[in-house]
Structures are given as C-alpha cells and as structure tokens.
C-alpha cells in the first residue's frame, strides 16, 4: 500500500529504507568501531577549560519585538 502523503520528489530523494536491511544476506557481525579515546580526551580538555557559568538573573531581560511592520507577500 502506498502512502498518499509522500510526494514523488520525496520518494525519489529518500528512497525505500527497507531496502537497506537486505534480508537475503543477513550479516550479524559487529562492525569494527574507531577508537574514541583521542576524541574523548580532546572533548574533555575543551570542556574543562571553559566551564559554562550560571547566568546572572538580575542582568536578564525579556526580549523586545523589533519596531515597524513587515511587508506581506
């Protein structure tokens, strides 16, 4: 059954994701993953040097709408 809400353009661009499952050739092996230690160390270093601060509630204010009107189509 075809879903009527999906356009032809989307079908062409996105395709059928069920076809990626390849039920005929089931490969249950676990892929080899890249080492994450160097990336984790770099991330920890970057995050430790700039800890996020708590914003001062006294300095906060509500946003204001820009003045004027915007053209309609």
pLDDT 10s digits, 17-57: 777 777 777 777 888 888 899 888 888 888 776 767 788 88
Residue, of 11 and 64, whose pLDDT is higher: 64
How high is the pLDDT of residue 47?
79
What's 26's DSSP letter? -
Helical H runs in the chain?
8-14, 37-49
Residue, of 19 and 61, whose pLDDT is higher: 61
For 25, the token pair is 């050739």
Task: For residue 58, name the pLDDT band (cuts at 50, 70, 90).
Answer: confident
Task: For residue 2, name the pLDDT band (cuts at 50, 70, 90).
Answer: confident
Could you give the CA distance from residue 11 to residue 47 in angstroms, rounded to a whole number? 42
Residues 6+ apart with CB under 8 A from 50: none
């Amino acid at each position: 059954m075809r879903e009527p809400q999906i356009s032809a353009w989307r079908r062409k661009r996105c395709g059928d994701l069920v076809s990626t499952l390849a039920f005929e050739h089931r490969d249950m092996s676990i892929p080899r993953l890249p080492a994450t230690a160097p990336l984790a160390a770099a991330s920890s270093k970057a995050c430790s040097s700039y800890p996020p601060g708590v914003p001062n509630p006294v300095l906060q204010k509500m946003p204001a709408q820009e003045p004027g009107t915007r053209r309609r189509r």
